[in-house]
Structure 1
Amino acid sequence: MPTLGEKQKHKYIPFGYKLMITYMVFIILPVIAIGYFSHSMYQDSIRQQTKNNIQGTLVQMKDNIEYKMGEVDRISTMLYGDYSLITQLRVYGKGWDSFERTTKIIMPKFSIALNSTGLNIAMFLFLENDTFPEIYYGSIDNERPEDFEGSYNIYHLSRIQDKAWHMDFPPEQFGKTKLWQRVEKDREFKRISFLRRLVDYEKPLELKEIGFMRISARTEELFQAVDYQKIGVGSALLIKDELGRVLYQSGTVPKETSGKLSQNAEFLTIRESVGEQTWQLEAYVPLTVMEQDSAKVRMFIILICFLCLVVFTFAGVFISRYFSVRMNKIVFVLNAFREGDLRKRMGYRGKDEFSQIASALNEMGRNIDNLIEQVYVTQIEKKEAELESLQAQINPHFLYNTLSSISRLAQFGEVDKLQRMVLDLAKFYRLSLNEGRTVIPIRSELEQVQAYMNIQTTKFGDSVSVFYDIDPEIIKYVTVKLILQPFIENALEHGWFGSPIHIRVSGKMEDDNIVFKIIDDGIGMSEDLIRQIFDPVEGLNTGFGIRNVNSRIQLHFGAKYGVTIGSRPGIGTTVQIVIPAERAECPNHGTKGKQGPC
């Protein structure tokens, strides 16, 4: 039966429960918050993007409308600025003279102006000079503009002297007074007219009205670009004049309240000014157009958040159980250690598993210190012995292959090649051994590389080529031996696959460092393989030689120097080796220096 002390000992929150609480606070709540805010931000973004798109569409519509309005204005300007026409209109004559000027001078000018545009317009010209005959189709009081579109009508100005739209026309400013307005039966026939005077500007300070132009155009043609379907189903587009009167409408307009469109929260209103008379192009876009995509995204975000919560919950339960089980095992093992003759050295306040870990660790402290010291010394000695062994390592594979090649050359009687290969092999190993020295001149390192490549070119002929790009400045410095040849050998063994391979060896000064590069156009390596070379997976021995060179450089020169590799499959590999620019030891005083001669 458990004692009172044993019952109190287990009254704490288990480690697994603590992990779950932490998970709830730092994972689930942020996921919910992120889902909420991301949806809100996306919805605002969708609305802004939709508004910008619609604004751009309205600008295109505006440009199209202004272009057509400009076409009508251009027609009127052709007549307004035609000095010869103005001159003829102020000449009074009767009979044959008036008829001849009308048919041969005035009417051709009107025809040219009318035919200079592709718009279906009807042109009314009211002349103050009543000596000109009237030429018109139908009746001015019962006009049907669609019957004489593409034609012009000449009337006397007296016919409109009492018309309100003529009487209220603004005072003339030369070249500026012109107006779009619905007059006569324009509203009935869904048209709009462009009004402008013809003036005698012989005396600029006394502009005299000698005629009046009215150019009637269909609102459907003038505002053809205004189509609600371009901004979405359920939308509406309106063209309003400077007084707020609707000139043209496309789509169903939202309900009106007191003569004005209500600011209904279900619609987004966008406006754009049109023309010189400050007309307004208004768009009413139902928010449902934007909410359709927003609803899909909202459901997607909710689904993702729900799946994340489910996955994270199962992951949290698994992880908490995973660590809780292992923590209990650690506690069990440490409690077993407590049976040894160890003294407590570390205090820990609390009633959970860590208090037991602290107690056990205190009891193991002294022995662990001793073991760490012994292991550290042993590892240092082992590392030094290993690096010394690697430094002196000679590739037996290369030696065996070279001797085999020498045997074949002897067998086939190729004495010249045999002699070159033997001499290069002897030179290679003489430079490799180098009387047991670790640090050698860069010249010797390059000669060792050249001897190695001579052997390879003797064996493989034109299939292997090497190019040296060495800055003469670096020859006077020293390096750890055997840092270039292993990478060239690696390129030939692992980067060469059938087709000829080209290798470039460069050496340059960069600030106070020497940078070597071995570049080949072989089959290359993947990023995963490069990672395994410098961070090998247990049980694999990939890149042992490369790590050997890197370790020797860092052991001798420091951790900021060493080897880096860049490669892409099918393109090739570039190996960069960085060492400090250090001179050989001076014979007189035995010191090193980076600047000046010994």
Structure 2
Amino acid sequence: MLKVRNPMNMKLGYQLLLSYIVLAIIPTYSIGYYAYTSSVHALQQETTLSLQNTLQQIQNNIIYKQNEMERTVGQLFYDQSFQEAIYNYVNGWDGYLTITQNVQPRLSAAVALASYDVELVTYIKDPDFPEIRHSATGNPLNQGKQTAILQFNRFPDSQELDTIPDQALSQGLWTQTAADKMYGNITYLRKLTYFQTGDTLGLLQVTARVQDVFPALKNANLGEGSIIVVTNTTNGVLLRTGAPGPLPDWKHPTLHALTFTEIISGQNWHVTAYVPLSNIHRESENIRNITILICALVFFCLLLFGWLISHYISRRINRIVVAFRALQIGDFRRRIPNKQEDELAEIENAFNEMANNLGILVQEVYINKIKQKETQLNMLQAQINPHFLYNTLSAISRLAKLGENDKLQHMLLSLARFYRLSLNNGRTIVTVEEEVQQVQTYLDIQKIRHGDDVEVRYDIDPEALAYSTLKLTLQPFVENVLTHARFINTIHIRILVQKQGGDLIFQIIDDGIGIDDAILTSLKTETKHYGIQNVDQRIKLQFGDAYGVSIFSTFGIGTTVRLTIPAWQPDIRKNTGSIASQT
């Protein structure tokens, strides 16, 4: 038997969640039911008003397009100069000038008033008046805006014209000729009379596409299954848009549709819209579905409410864990932002304070290590420089005794340059070019001392010269070659500087006696080789363990020392002489 659990014995979070659900569903259901029952009535009223406004806009648009065509005819109907030209026409050169300079320009100007393609034909009763026609076949509107002058007896529906009251023609009449019905056009006619005598000069006819006169119908969208029809009592349906099929019975509407009719003022035209009620019901169904969806979403949101609270707390705890892990791998800059004042916020504040203190301590240790390496560098220079200076001065003394003044001068200049580059205003960060110049000067002095026993080749990548390096990185290794390679005859030294990707590679290659494995190991461990170790440790301390010094040697063949640093360009002018100042 299934045991029903007492709601009072449930956890408080579940009790709150259940009460939220009950309190939310009751008003949501009531409001949704009311909204659904009232939506149909409201939609019908809104749809009725919208349809009436739409039909009114369609009516206004049709009247505007009609006025365009009527203005085209009116431009000529009220033009007395145009009437004078036709009434007083005589054959000959004067008549030709009348047509080309008076009649035709006015016809073209009248056609230009229309915003769509029209054909303007002037039927002249004067049998001597020449005809001017275009050669288009088929629908004349396919050729764009056109004008023509024809004899009155060429009007296509002259018999029907006789049945039209004279007053209607004088005021203007909309109709469709047989050709218009074939091509989907519509025509506006108006009798042209002479303003002084009232005599009939002819007939003005302007023709346009039905869809250009009724463009609003083409763009009107009253919903699926809706139909809009323009009709008149003479020619039946002028234009129809919307759903295909037979037209509904406009005079006997059913309960399944809404029917609206507007009369075009001044014309016997009717614009009728037929809108199925299913469109309105479909909108009501959409509201019902949306209401159900909203109720379901409210229920789902409340169901997730308790979960969101626990998720919020666990997310904050996880943020603290992530911060501790970052601290564990050495990221002392990580902080936990918080704006709360709860217990978790106290933990976060304590972590931030601890990380800040640890960062300060680590920074102090790091700076102390850097200063220690700088001290070792100074000690290395203190060892190298006096010994080097003593040997150089001894060589200078020998050169002076031998009277080799050129070599003596060269050595003195090289010695001065060497110390200028070595001191370098106390800076510990120099350009690659300065470091290369320093070792070149050092080797120039050694070559004077040793003569042809030392051959040096430089392969320097010009792109690498603008980057920066640590001071005194090459000389210890070059000095080691000259001191320990134990060459018998000539020793060849090659100094290579390259930029590879984002790194700078320095190589000192010699063909000396080489280093056996035991000595090679001692170079990395024994303190007596701290000059080499100092370079490696300074590089690693400045750039990380991925960079440093590597030595490759084969006993009896030679040695290659490879130094790797990143390609970097700090502002050396701001260097105060301390590597620590760059951190």
TM-score of the pair, normalised by structure 2 = 0.42
Q: Greater Rg, structure 1 or structure 2?
A: 2
Greater per-residue helix proportion: 2
TM-score of the pair, normalised by structure 1 = 0.41
